[in-house]
Amino acid sequence: MDIKNTVTKKGAFSVSDKDISSAVINRLPRYYRYLGDLLDNDVVRISSKELSEKMHVTASQIRQDLNNFGGFGQQGYGYNVEYLYNEIAKILGLDRKYDMVIVGAGNIGQAIAGYTDFEKRGFKVKRIFDINPTLFGQTIRGILIDDVANLEDYIKDNNITIAALTLPKNQAVTMANNLVKWGIKGIWNFAPIDLRLPSNVKVETVHLSDSLMRLSYNIREMEEDKDV
């Protein structure tokens, strides 16, 4: 993933031609989350050393990451927490709102619809779509479950940007290709398959079983180390 930026005279983020590594991008949501916690606790400023102790990331790594976007810190002062929080929000695109739909009203789809924190970040689930007629007309946290046959028109008529795809593997590819044709710009993919889509459509895939298998590996490694 590429983020392009330049540093203004005040160190603010704006668009230009600098490529940022995916490793740095993957750490940005974590910075944002920790800074949000600091704000909730009325912390006004923090040094890279103090932030590193909270996040278990080296202070050098934090400075290197943030320097990709202008640094944001002042020598002898550290970081203004609210300012840095807001700047990272801009970098992540969270200074705008995203209307999204969920395709698939199974357990994962219903869990996403029921999670209120997404709206706080600017992601509003507008509607859920499914093929099961017994679900049509039901709501989850006020969000209507609709017939998937109405999905194309709904996307086009409501300027929907993102679709969360929570379908079985054998249905996901066809639906993903249709979503692209209908104008979706980003797919949050929970289907157990890697999607191959045009480069102008961004895909974030969540393989839940992969995470669990990594946990299993780490437990095994820990137990083997104890046996040595």
pLDDT at 33 over 90: yes
Span 159-199, pLDDT tens digits: 999 999 999 999 999 999 999 999 999 999 999 999 999 99
Identify the pLDDT of residue 18: 58
pLDDT band at 10 (very low <50, low <70, confident <90, very high): very low
117 versus 136: the higher-pLDDT residue is 136
CA 11 – CA 66 distance, rounded (Å) = 11
Query: What is the CATH number assigned to the segment(s) 6-91?
Result: 1.10.10.10
pLDDT at 16 over 90: no
Every domain of the chain and the residues it spans: 6-91, 98-210
Span 73-120, pLDDT tens digits: 777 788 999 999 999 999 999 989 999 999 999 999 999 999 988 988
Label residues 1-16 b or e (16+ Cβ within 10 Å = b).
Answer: eebebebeeeebbeee
Q: What is the largest CA-CA distance in the chain?
A: 63
Q: Which residues share a beta bridge with 80?
A: 45
Q: Return the CATH superfamily for domain 98-210.
A: NAD(P)-binding Rossmann-like Domain (3.40.50.720)
Q: What pTM, to 2 d.p., does this model score?
A: 0.81
CA 183 – CA 59 distance, rounded (Å) = 42
